[in-house]
C-alpha cells in the first residue's frame, strides 16, 4: 500500500501512520502529502519527513476543476494507491474521487452518522456533541464517497462525554484516540484489500 495524505492543519493521522510505518507496525509506504494551507504544520512536517509535498489550493487554482485536476495529478503522480484525509477541511472533487474510488479513508471526530455532514468539521463537531447532550462521542474512520461523511464506517472509537466537559476537554480526549484508531482502520483495510 502506497499512502498519500491530504491535510489542512497538523496532519496528526498522517504523522501517526508514518511513525507506524517507520516502526514496522504497518506494511505500507508513505509517499506524498498535499495541503490547501501553505502554512500548515503538516506541509512543513511532510517536507522534513521526506515525503513529496505540495501546496494545492484555490489561491493557486481559482477554478475548482483545475484544482481538482491538480490534486489528482499530484497524488497519482506520487505513485499513491490509497488516500488518507488527515484533517482535510475541503471537499474532494470528482476527478480525485474517481482516481481513488474505494481507496480514500477519512477520520471524523464523532460517531458517524451523528454530527456529520456538510459544515460539520473541527470544533463545530465537538460543539454539536456538547449541545446535543450526548453522553458519548468518539471518532470514525470511514470510506469517502461523493456524499459528505456518508461513506461506510470502517472503525470507531468511543469516548465518554463527561459532566463539565468543554470544547477543549472533549476535543483533547477524542484527538488522543485518533492516531491509534486510524492505524487500526488502515491495517484492517490493508488486510481486506
Q: What are the binding residues for (6R)-10-formyltetrahydrofolate?
A: 106
Cβ partners under 8 Å of residue 160, min gap 6? 135, 136, 137
Query: Which residue, chain included where needed, has cell 490493508?
Result: 190
Known binding residues? 106
C-alpha cell read off for 2: 502506497
170/80 Cα distance (integer angstroms)? 34
Which distant-in-sequence residues (6+ apart) come within 8 Å of 116 by Cβ? Answer: 108, 110, 125, 140, 148, 149, 150
105 in Cβ contact with 143 (< 8 Å): yes
Catalytic pick among 108, 115, 126, 142: 108
Distance CA 51, CA 173 (A): 29
Q: Which residue from 73, 72, 12 is spatially nearest to 46, judged by alpha carbons? A: 12
Q: How far apart are CA 77 and CA 16, in angstroms?
A: 23
Query: Side-chain half-sphere of 112: how many Cα atoms within 13 Å?
Result: 24
The reply to whether 9 belongs to the active site is: no
Q: Which residues are catalytic?
A: 108
Amino acid at each position: 500500500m502506497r499512502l498519500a495524505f491530504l491535510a489542512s492543519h497538523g496532519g496528526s493521522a498522517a504523522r501517526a501512520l508514518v511513525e507506524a510505518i517507520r516502526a514496522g507496525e504497518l506494511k505500507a509506504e508513505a509517499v506524498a502529502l498535499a495541503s490547501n494551507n501553505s502554512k500548515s504544520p503538516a506541509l512543513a512536517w511532510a517536507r522534513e519527513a521526506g515525503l513529496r509535498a505540495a501546496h494545492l489550493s484555490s489561491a493557486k487554482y481559482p477554478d475548482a476543476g483545475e484544482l481538482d485536476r491538480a490534486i489528482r495529478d499530484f497524488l497519482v503522480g506520487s505513485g499513491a494507491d490509497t488516500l488518507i484525509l488527515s484533517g482535510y477541511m475541503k471537499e474532494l472533487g470528482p476527478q480525485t474521487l474517481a482516481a481513488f474510488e474505494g481507496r480514500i479513508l477519512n477520520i471524523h471526530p464523532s460517531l458517524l452518522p451523528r454530527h456529520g455532514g456538510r459544515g460539520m468539521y473541527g470544533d463545530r463537531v465537538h460543539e454539536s456533541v456538547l449541545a446535543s447532550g450526548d453522553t458519548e462521542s468518539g471518532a470514525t474512520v470511514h470510506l469517502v464517497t461523493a456524499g459528505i461523511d456518508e461513506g461506510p464506517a470502517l472503525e470507531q472509537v468511543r469516548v465518554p462525554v463527561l459532566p463539565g466537559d468543554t470544547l477543549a476537554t472533549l476535543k483533547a480526549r477524542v484527538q488522543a484516540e485518533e492516531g491509534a484508531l486510524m492505524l487500526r482502520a488502515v491495517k484492517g483495510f490493508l488486510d481486506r484489500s
